[in-house]
């Protein structure tokens, strides 16, 4: 034992040139660590501010102190060394681990888990939708159009579209009537009819509206189709699809942060949860498109009973027939949704005009009759 | 009465080692039993061989003197790596990592990764000395950004632009095929880059590891191997993976001394074909059997100076480890991840041994610089090429 109270610590010294472990003794001095090499003789002084601690943070782990960049290191088995260092040189001890903090490690970990849970829930329910909304508002229309074009090229390739310019013109007329109610035209709206029996319709970012033959066949008059078109136009104007894409991407980043490099099986489960989350948002989007679509019909003086009647007919058929009718199931069905639509429909006060008064709707909806694959 | 524990070297104050729970008297008694005859020794073999006699810091000397003539030889020159990590500590690190990653919108991820690696290496011990990891989160972050700029952006531009500008179909299709091929080239680049980086940041007894294989050579090997594997309908695969392993091992250094690999891939072809034949009848379990065989083969053909590596990993055990790990992770929604990591580490350290004299006295420090760009690329490709 050395001078009054100064304890000597057993250590091993690595010189960073050879893998030799040399026994050493350390004393904590005012200027730094005084190191004496017990086997070879010789001594070193390490100023405290040049020393980094790189190991010795966990129970059972030796304390490792490094100096310089190339491997010079001191290994001290007794973790009490750190406590003694703090006591001897409190002002220099900030860069070193405090073993007294270990007893809090478990509670810190539990706290971190809970905090991570709260943060991720907040991000999921509030942060990401808000962020996606703000970001979607700043996406240039031209990007949306490009995105929509590539989506339509895949989902409704030209070879499967029904080409019948005279009848198509009538449908475009309905779109024009609807668009006239808008203060500005930001999107080049375009309607494509696809030769497929599915009863469905969708809109892509950038103003492409795809109507399947099955849906067109079920419309009784131009007003019913106008209802569907108004609904889809509202999806485009509200940028619902763009938002969904952004939300989907950021949820992916959130999941990656949470799960890290965890295996694919968990990732699959997480993907399912994500899809369910998307569904929740899509329900809100449908409600918005219903409401503003109906307002659009009012503004265009189109009889809102057409939209209502069509949606009611869809609900009836979806209850009975199975596969092909998908319009309300991707556009979620619910009695209260129709209820809300009926209330909105009743609010129209203007007299309505008749759409395409000089044409026979049963003829127009034969648009795909001449299409042969 | 204080004597070092014969299994782990900790000073034992009483009869029982506080570190590994070994009862000294019992240990010596069973050792004695073993010397007398092999029949009584069956259950004891494992703990004995698991107990490397810690030699003094320098030189190859200091092993247990060979057993008296006529007795069963005790494998005295067998060493094992030891892993001291606990699932609890790892869980604590991971919990804080996840929280900070969320709060920093992902940026902390790289620092977290460095902390995990530092923990896992720092808890691994050979000959009473722990490994050390010297990589930093900052390096990983910069490496990721560089990888993104150098490889990711051109990739994204080439794959998105044709669609945006409505290029004709044949152009888009041939471009995407070209990109796919380029992506294939990036895999070997990432493998070498990542190994170079990780070894350069790993040390033992203050001496850095390094990887000195040429990137170009490995890319060539990889391309030729991929082509031959597809031309031979996969039969070439064992030769291909062995060539990769040989390249990775024989260009790895500890300080100034090289590792060697002397395995020939054709020795694995039989096992590989057997695995394929049995794949369907065993519902895929034969893969684990082949995987264990490959692990043993790779390990046993690795040398470091006079030291040989050996592995006794079995297919059934490996299958149990990996399947139960996946089940545990799924059932706990990922919370069991630290436990599976610690468990796997223990598993491999239990079955892998170093045999023959380990003399490192003439090894000199000989570190090589390495950037983290390849590592960043590996991250972008979502691949974790482990360093073994």
**A215 and A313 in one domain?**
yes
**In Å, how far from its chain's centre is CA B368?**
21
Position A59 in a domain: yes
- Domain extent at residue A91: 8-97
Position A105 in a domain: no
CB B60, CB B357: distance < 8 Å: yes
**A180 and A57 in one domain?**
no
Spans of all domains in chain B:
3-76
- Helix, strand, coil percentages in chain A from 3-state DSSP, rounded to 5: 55, 15, 30
Query: What is the pTM for the complete model shown?
Result: 0.71
> HEC profile for A166-230?
HHHHHHHHHHHHHHCCCCCCCCCCEEEEECCCCECEEEECCCEEEEEHHHHHHCCCHHHHHHHHH
**A230 and A166 in one domain?**
yes
Count of structural domains within chain A:
2
Per-residue pLDDT of chain A (373 residues; tens, 9 = 90+): 344 457 899 999 999 899 988 999 999 987 889 999 988 888 999 998 889 999 988 888 889 999 987 779 999 999 899 988 888 888 877 778 888 888 887 888 889 889 988 988 888 888 888 888 888 888 888 888 888 888 888 888 888 888 888 889 999 999 999 999 998 888 889 999 999 888 888 888 888 999 999 899 889 899 999 999 999 999 999 999 888 888 887 877 777 767 665 545 556 666 666 666 676 778 888 889 989 999 999 999 999 888 888 888 887 776 555 444 556 555 555 667 788 888 888 887 778 888 888 888 888 888 888 765 4
Interchain pair A112, B92: CB under 8 A? yes
B132 touches chain A (CB under 8 A): yes
**Among B residues 338-367, those touching chain A with beta carbons less than 8 Å apart:** 360-361, 363-365, 367
> Residue B330 has which token pair?
């799924």
From the list A15, A55, A109, the residue facing B206 with the nearest CB is A15
What is the SS3 assignment for A363? Answer: helix
Closest of A277, A220, A215 to residue A251, by C-alpha: A277
Closest-CA distance, A279 to chain B, in angstroms, reads 22
In chain B, residues with a C-beta closer than 8 Å to the C-beta of A64 are 122, 130, 132
Q: Which residue of B has its CA nearest to A121?
A: B102
Q: Which residue of A has its CA nearest to B360?
A: A19
| Alpha carbons A254 and A84: distance in angstroms, whole number | 43
In chain B, residues with a C-beta closer than 8 Å to the C-beta of A265 are 326, 329-330
**A141 and A86 in one domain?**
no
> Residue A339 has which token pair?
């209820």
Q: Which residue of A has its CA nearest to B368?
A: A70
- List the strands of the sheet with A32-37, edge to edge: A43-47, A32-37, A22-28, A8-14, A72-76, A63-67, A51-55
| Alpha carbons A220 and A254: distance in angstroms, whole number | 46
**A199 and A330 in one domain?**
yes
**Among A residues 55-84, those touching chain B with beta carbons less than 8 Å apart:** 55, 58-62, 64, 70-73, 75
Position A116 in a domain: no
**A129 and A66 in one domain?**
no
In chain A, residues with a C-beta closer than 8 Å to the C-beta of B95 are 109-110, 112-113, 116
Q: Which residue of B has its CA nearest to A69?
A: B134
> Residue B4 has which token pair?
């070092």
B62 touches chain A (CB under 8 A): no
**A222 and A171 in one domain?**
yes
Closest-CA distance, B35 to chain A, in angstroms, reads 33
Closest-CA distance, B70 to chain A, in angstroms, reads 36
Position A102 in a domain: no
**Among A residues 153-182, those touching chain B with beta carbons less than 8 Å apart:** none
Interchain pair B118, A18: CB under 8 A? no
CB A90, CB A83: distance < 8 Å: no
B122 touches chain A (CB under 8 A): yes
Position A369 in a domain: no
In chain A, residues with a C-beta closer than 8 Å to the C-beta of B385 are none
């Amino acid at each position: 034992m050395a001078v009054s109270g100064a304890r000597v610590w057993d250590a091993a010294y690595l010189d960073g040139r050879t893998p030799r472990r040399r026994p050493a003794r350390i004393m904590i001095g005012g200027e730094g660590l005084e190191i004496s090499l017990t086997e070879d003789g010789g001594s070193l002084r390490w100023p405290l501010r040049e020393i980094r601690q790189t190991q010795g943070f966990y129970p059972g782990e030796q304390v490792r102190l490094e100096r310089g960049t190339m491997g010079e290191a001191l290994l001290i088995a007794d973790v009490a060394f750190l406590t003694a260092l703090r006591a001897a040189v409190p002002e220099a001890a900030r860069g070193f681990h405090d073993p007294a903090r270990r007893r809090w490690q478990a509670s810190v970990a539990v706290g971190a888990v809970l905090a991570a849970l709260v943060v991720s829930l907040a991000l999921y329910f509030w942060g990401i939708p808000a962020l996606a909304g703000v970001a979607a508002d700043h996406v240039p229309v031209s990007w949306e159009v490009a995105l929509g074009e590539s989506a339509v090229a895949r989902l409704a390739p030209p070879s499967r579209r029904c080409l019948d310019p005279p009848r198509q013109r009538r449908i475009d007329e309905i779109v024009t009537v609807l668009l006239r109610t808008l203060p500005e035209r930001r999107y080049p709206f375009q309607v494509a009819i696809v030769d497929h029996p599915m009863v469905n319709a969708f809109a892509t970012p950038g103003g492409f509206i795809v109507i399947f033959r099955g849906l067109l066949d079920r419309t009784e008059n131009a007003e019913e189709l106008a209802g569907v078109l108004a609904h889809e136009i509202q999806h485009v104007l509200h940028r619902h699809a763009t938002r969904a894409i952004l939300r989907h991407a950021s949820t992916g980043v959130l999941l990656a942060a949470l799960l890290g490099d965890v295996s694919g099986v968990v990732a699959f489960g997480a993907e399912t949860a994500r899809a369910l989350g998307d569904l929740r948002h899509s329900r809100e989007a449908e409600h918005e498109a219903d409401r503003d679509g109906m307002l659009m019909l009012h503004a265009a003086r189109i009889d809102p009973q057409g939209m209502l009647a069509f949606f009611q007919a869809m609900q009836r058929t979806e209850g009975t027939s199975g596969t092909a009718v998908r319009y309300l199931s991707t556009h979620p069905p619910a009695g209260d949704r129709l209820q809300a639509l009926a209330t909105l429909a009743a609010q129209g006060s203007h007299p309505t005009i008749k759409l395409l008064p000089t044409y026979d709707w049963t003829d127009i909806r034969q648009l795909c009759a001449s299409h042969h694959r | 009465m204080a004597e070092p524990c014969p299994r782990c070297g900790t000073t034992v104050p009483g009869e029982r080692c506080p570190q590994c729970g070994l009862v000294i008297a019992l240990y010596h008694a069973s050792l004695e039993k073993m010397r007398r005859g092999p029949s009584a020794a069956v259950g004891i073999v494992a703990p004995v061989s698991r107990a490397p006699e810690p030699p003094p810091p320098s030189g190859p000397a200091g092993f247990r003197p060979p057993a008296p003539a006529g007795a069963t030889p005790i494998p005295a020159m067998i060493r094992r790596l030891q892993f001291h990590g606990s699932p609890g500590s790892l869980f604590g690190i991971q919990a804080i990592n996840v929280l900070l990653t969320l709060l920093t919108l992902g940026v902390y991820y790289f620092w977290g990764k460095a902390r995990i690696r530092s923990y896992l290496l720092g808890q691994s011990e050979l000959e009473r000395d722990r490994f050390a990891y010297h990589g930093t989160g900052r390096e990983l972050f910069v490496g990721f950004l560089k990888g993104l700029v150098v490889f990711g952006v051109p990739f994204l531009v080439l794959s998105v632009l044709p669609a945006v500008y409505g290029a004709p179909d044949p152009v888009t299709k041939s471009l995407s095929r070209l990109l796919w091929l380029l992506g294939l080239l990036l895999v070997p680049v990432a493998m070498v880059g990542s190994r170079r980086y990780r070894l350069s940041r790993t040390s033992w007894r203050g001496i850095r590891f390094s990887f000195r294989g040429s990137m170009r050579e490995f890319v060539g090997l990889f391309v030729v191997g991929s082509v031959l594997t597809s031309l031979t309908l996969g039969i070439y695969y064992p030769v291909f993976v062995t060539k990769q392993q040989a390249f990775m091992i024989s260009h790895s250094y500890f300080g100034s001394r090289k590792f060697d690999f002397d395995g020939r891939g054709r020795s694995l072809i039989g096992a590989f074909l057997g695995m394929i034949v049995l794949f369907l009848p065993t519902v895929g379990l034969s893969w684990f059997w082949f995987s264990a065989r490959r692990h043993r083969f790779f390990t046993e053909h690795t040398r470091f100076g006079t030291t040989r590596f050996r592995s006794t990993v079995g297919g059934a055990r490996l299958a149990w480890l990996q399947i139960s790990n996946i089940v545990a992770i799924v059932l706990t929604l990922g919370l069991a991840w630290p436990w599976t990591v610690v468990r796997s580490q223990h598993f491999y350290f239990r079955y892998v041994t170093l045999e023959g004299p380990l003399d490192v006295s003439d090894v000199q420090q000989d570190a090589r610089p390495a950037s983290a760009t390849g590592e960043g690329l590996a991250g972008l490709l979502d691949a974790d090429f482990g360093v073994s």
